[in-house]
């Protein structure tokens, strides 16, 4: 694995500490914060609060990927994402990623000042995505999914969960490098909750270390997800911060490099303590 990645003017040194990606959903319907930040002033205030709390990357998403979420049009996704990016880029210094599966959105977002593409389909929904990212020369996060957000909760059959996740990611890493994406600019994500049932989500945490063999930094997005709600018997996603903290600590213990989170101040504390416990001092 490449030991570091420079994004904007920030140097990400893998293995030294855990990095936090703060979620900024500019959607009306995301599962835990839909409608809260889908105007530019609210989005900017939330982004600034995350920066003040120590976030390393801000992840802007215009298309909800919660289970059953309806696909929106390209024009609508662009209309949600681009104005927010333009406001953020002028005011926010940290790297910005855009959560999209569309090459056209990726290209427009990078041109508007984004730095990273976060593709929940690992480059499989839009076959122009990987060549587009290669031409833009930006980092990409490749996530494992089975099915689509509309169908993924029915797509939870695996013969060998970790082997299949690993095989999918290896295939997409190869597809990415084949079209010219630098290996050092690829981050992988096992896709907690995306075509996985409750037991499978827990298994990913226990076996996360198996993915280190792919030699890419690992991102884990467990924040406020339904498996935590089930454990806590907590239907309100915003009341799952303590459960998220436990999952984040487990992810760090098993090799996660980046955590995608909603509750940045709380998870900053978690990651500082977990890093002190689990990472060797450099």
* Residues taking part in catalysis: 225, 260
Q: The tokens 């030699």 sit on which residue?
A: 215
| Nearest CA-CA partner of 125 in 194, 60, 28, 213 | 194
Beta bridge partners of 57: 21
Q: Which two tokens stand for residue 207?
A: 């076996």
Distances (CA, A) of 14 to 6, 19, 50: 11, 9, 21
For residue 144, the Cα-to-chain-centroid distance in whole angstroms is 11
Q: Which two tokens stand for residue 149?
A: 């957000």
Query: What is d(CA 180, CA 231) in angstroms, rounded to the nearest whole number?
Result: 43
The torsion angles phi and psi of 124, rounded to 5 degrees, stand at: -100, -20
From start to end of the chain, where are the E strands? 4-7, 10-13, 19-25, 57-61, 96-99, 116-119, 140-143, 186-189, 219-220, 258-261
């Amino acid at each position: 694995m490449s030991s570091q990645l420079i994004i904007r003017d920030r140097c990400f040194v893998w293995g030294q500490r855990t990095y936090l990606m703060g979620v900024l959903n500019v959607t009306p319907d995301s599962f835990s914060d839909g409608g809260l930040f889908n105007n530019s002033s609210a989005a900017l205030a939330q982004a600034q609060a995350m920066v003040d709390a120590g976030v390393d990357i801000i992840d802007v998403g215009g298309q909800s990927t919660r289970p059953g979420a309806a696909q929106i049009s390209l024009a609508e996704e662009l209309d949600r994402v681009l104005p927010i990016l333009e406001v953020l880029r002028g005011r926010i210094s940290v790297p910005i990623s855009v959560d999209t599966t569309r090459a056209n959105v990726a290209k427009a977002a990078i041109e508007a000042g984004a730095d990273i593409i976060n593709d929940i389909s690992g480059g499989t929904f839009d076959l122009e995505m990987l060549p587009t990212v290669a031409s833009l020369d930006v980092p990409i996060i490749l996530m494992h999914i089975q099915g689509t957000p509309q169908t993924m909760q029915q797509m939870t059959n695996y013969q060998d969960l970790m082997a299949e996740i690993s095989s999918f990611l290896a295939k997409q890493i190869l597809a990415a490098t084949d079209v010219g994406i630098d290996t050092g600019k690829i981050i992988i994500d096992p896709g907690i909750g995306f075509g996985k049932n409750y037991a499978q989500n827990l298994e990913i945490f226990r076996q996360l270390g198996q993915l280190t063999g792919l030699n890419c930094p690992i991102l884990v997005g467990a924040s406020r997800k339904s498996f935590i709600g089930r454990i806590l018997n907590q239907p309100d996603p915003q009341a799952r911060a303590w459960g998220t903290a436990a999952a984040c600590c487990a992810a760090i213990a098993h090799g996660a490099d980046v955590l995608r989170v909603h509750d940045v101040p709380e998870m900053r504390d978690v990651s500082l303590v977990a890093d002190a416990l689990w990472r060797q001092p450099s």
